[in-house]
Amino acid sequence: MSQVETYPVPQQIADNAWVDEPKYNKMYQQSIDDPEGFWAEHGKRIHWFKPFTQVKDVHFGADDVHIRWFYDGTTNAAYNCIDQHLPHKKDDTAIIWEPDDPRENARHISFGELHEEVSRLANGLKALGVGKGDRVSIYMPMIPEAATAMLACARIGAVHSVVFGGFSPDSLASRIQDAEAKVVITADEGLRGGRKIPLKQNTDEAVANCPSVQAVVTVKRTGGGIQWHDGRDHWYHEVLEKASSDCPAEEMSAEDPLFILYTSGSTGKPKGVLHTTGGYLVHTSMTHQYVFDYHDGEVFWCTADVGWITGHSYIVYGPLANGATTVIFEGVPNYPNASRHWEVIDKHKVNIYYTAPTAIRALMREGNGPVEKTSRDSLRILGTVGEPINPEAWRWYHEVIGKGKCPIVDTWWQTETGGILITPLPGATPAKPGSATLPFFGVKPVLVDNEGNHLEGATHGNLCIADSWPGQMRTIHGDHERFVQTYFSMYPGRYFTGDGARRDEDGYFWITGRVDDVLNVSGHRMGTAEIESALVLHDKVAEAAVVGYPHDLKGQGIYAYVILNAGEEETEALRKELVDICKKEIGPIAKPDLVQFASGLPKTRSGKIMRRILRKIAEDDYSSLGDTSTLADPGVVDDLIENRQNRS
Ligand code: WTA
């Protein structure tokens, strides 16, 4: 092991874990030497109606890609998450719901109750005309009904498309249109940190432009006033009342779609990442068990929003497929005060806590006081996801939150990967703060240079995965060509992640961030092109270029260079309008932190914007601007530097 600060596996954890170091090495080797045999065995971990006999059919070609796993088997995701547990866990808690306001009562929903509600909603959706293969958009706050809605779709073979509740009506509309959803499930209002979010009103605005939508189902969360559209609108509780609770789970082929989830890429509009049923469930349940060393009866809390892949895989499908108790938290880490997460951990005796580095950094700023007021004795395992964690935050998480006794799993993965791919296992992998460490079973990470040459040993490069894994996305909804183009054309024969990474002398991976034009702001993924498109909608804007820059709290901040139309005045009021237009078009998460009015952008003579230079200026790093002599107008660079905005 290298000299870098290393945290050994606590003996007590290794002794009781599913996997210790020798077992990891053995299982990993098996999974690489004989993937068919390995997955034939582990594919059995979920419940199949008809067992599969075929394990894997994968082709990563430069112009043709197909990916199938367990493809002659049949199963159902909702059956796996609920019904299979009924004989021995009917009265055990499946979901603990913690509301935004700690004075409101938490809810405990048993597997039996979840079964009844999901079945009723499933029948209700059928009555609204939803059948197998139809799409349903879900635009919800963090309430148990969000999970119920996902599982009700899965139960009848409808494909859900969850849209993050922080997205604007326009973003919602484009996602509903792309999926051609028949039904939208929402709530009257969301509640976060004491603030109300007008979800139904946003849905009304969006649906006005979505001819595919036949019905809107609304959960009454706050009782706030909403508009009602007769014939189209239905209350969630009334749909349940009218429906029977007898709804056998539809028998789905392993490769039938389970959900679409939109995510940002470096170009164009967000892509509808499509995941299917069997492989996704095998991967999410298996990673949930091994990566978090989940043991029966433990309480698992993933703080992500269900609108992101982390919420899909590690609030809903992974934990529930394993019969775990999963926590759904409606609120935010600093409301009503900075102890809230730690209080929730004590209140619900959380054993495994999985959050984002940005939340850790924000809470670290509040000092140790808010943490030390609480006991956190129930905690056993800690996890992070979404962005690289800086070693300082890692150590604070380890020492202060986990009192030095809880292993931290820094899990690297993506919307496209369905579940975790590079990660420590708590009982097996010595940790190095800031490293996602080693591949999960069956995962073959490779580093390549820009020409696609395979790089060996300790080095850095573009991170690709050399073969498929069961939870891999299968296509982009409605655009298979874009799928092939985006992920498989750059480095043929391999899946390209869009991330850069370093591999150290122990084979540990250190993710260095995106190498494409995708930003990661507080763990939220956004394309620079999306923000630029929003900015140029303003009638005073001629052109815009957006880059990321290092931000202490958010990981990355959004820096926008804006060129105004001739004669327009550069005012603070206009700067605010530009921030607002991003909020309106995309959502609050897309608001630029800094807006610089520029007279020109650094472009090559062929008109290509040299983003590298814009990034350097935003980073305040002028030492390596590189050769600017090839620019059409080298003078713009001095002008940009002179007028740069101060970083926070
Ligand atoms: C980044 C979230 C470093 C990465 C599950 C990836 C990470 C993108 C880590 C995917 C990590 C995720 N360390 N970077 N542990 N986890 N990322 O699709 O850049 O929202 O490509 O999926 O987040 O973001 P997405």
Divide the 648 residues of the chain into consecutive groups of 10 and give the mean pLDDT of each group.
83 97 98 98 98 98 94 99 98 98 98 98 98 98 98 99 97 98 98 97 98 98 97 98 98 98 90 98 98 98 98 98 98 97 98 97 97 98 96 98 98 98 98 98 98 97 98 98 96 97 98 94 93 96 96 95 96 97 96 96 89 92 82 88 79
Give the tokens for residue 346: 């004590």
Atom number in ligand 1 closest to CA 384: 15
User: Does the interface ipTM go beyond 0.90?
Assistant: yes
- pLDDT value at residue 1: 56
- pLDDT value at residue 15: 97
Instruction: Report the helix count and the strand count for the chain, using DSSP H and E.
Output: 22, 31
Is there a cis peptide before residue 102, judged by omega within 30 degrees of 0? no
How far does the centroid of ligand 1 lie from the alpha carbon of residue 392, in Å?
A: 19
How far does the centroid of ligand 1 lie from the alpha carbon of residue 45, in Å?
A: 27
What is d(CA 105, CA 355) in angstroms, rounded to the nearest whole number? Answer: 23
Give the tokens for residue 1: 């092991």
How far does the centroid of ligand 1 lie from the alpha carbon of residue 310, in Å?
A: 10
How far does the centroid of ligand 1 lie from the alpha carbon of residue 386, in Å?
A: 4
Q: Summarize the annotated binding site for ATP as residue ranges.
A: 386-388, 410-415, 499, 514, 525
What is d(CA 217, CA 203) in angstroms, rounded to the nearest whole number? Answer: 10
What is d(CA 640, CA 144) in angstroms, rounded to the nearest whole number? Answer: 49
Mutate to test the pocket of ligand 1, among 263, 306, 385 (most ligand atoms within 8 A of CB): 385
- pLDDT value at residue 2: 57
Pairing of strands 475-476, 271-276: antiparallel
Query: Which residue's C-alpha comes closest to atom 22 of ligand 1?
Result: 414
Q: Which protein residues touch ligand 1 with a CB less than 6 Å away?
A: 263, 308-310, 385-388, 410-415, 436, 497-499, 511, 513-514, 520, 525
Pairing of strands 215-219, 183-187: parallel
Atom number in ligand 1 closest to CA 422: 15
3-state helix, strand, coil in the chain (%, to 5): 35, 25, 40
- pLDDT value at residue 269: 87
How far does the centroid of ligand 1 lie from the alpha carbon of residue 107, in Å?
A: 31
What is d(CA 19, CA 24) in angstroms, rounded to the nearest whole number? Answer: 6
How far does the centroid of ligand 1 lie from the alpha carbon of residue 415, in Å?
A: 8
Query: Which residue's C-alpha comes closest to atom 5 of ligand 1?
Result: 414
With 0-12 / 13-18 / 19 or more C-beta atoms within 10 angstroms meaning exposed / middle / buried, residue 587 is buried
- pLDDT value at residue 648: 54
